[in-house]
Amino acid sequence: MTITLYMDVHFHRAITTGLRLRDVDVLTAQEDGHRTADDARLLDRATELQRVLFTQDEDLLAEAKHRQIEGISFGGVIYAHQLRITIGRCVNDLEMIAKAAEANELVNRVEYLPL
């Protein structure tokens, strides 16, 4: 089974567009009615939907680390720093992960882009 992605509130729209053009299943927090949700709720929602959360927000890394330390399960986080990756590289790396990895491989993990 391929990975489906849940996009955090703060990201460049071109990333979602590029992924959808490559047939990657993407749902944004805005589309899901969670535009104003805090980081914990976004991670909870992605996990509920069995999606991996993509973010460029360092605060979400802190939430993921907290859950790892406390043993609180989550569906996985993929993080890319806004200034350290191009939109094209981000789309390529996310597509590769979405199409090649299994969802259970990212549970309770944080992956960093670029690969």
Whether the pLDDT of residue 41 is over 80: the answer is: yes
Domain residue extents for the chain = 5-113
Return the residue matching tokens 């749902």: 27
pTM for this prediction: 0.95
Q: Bigger pLDDT: 54 or 103? A: 54
Please write the tens of the pLDDT for every residue from 56-106.
999 999 999 999 999 999 999 999 998 899 999 999 999 999 999 998 999
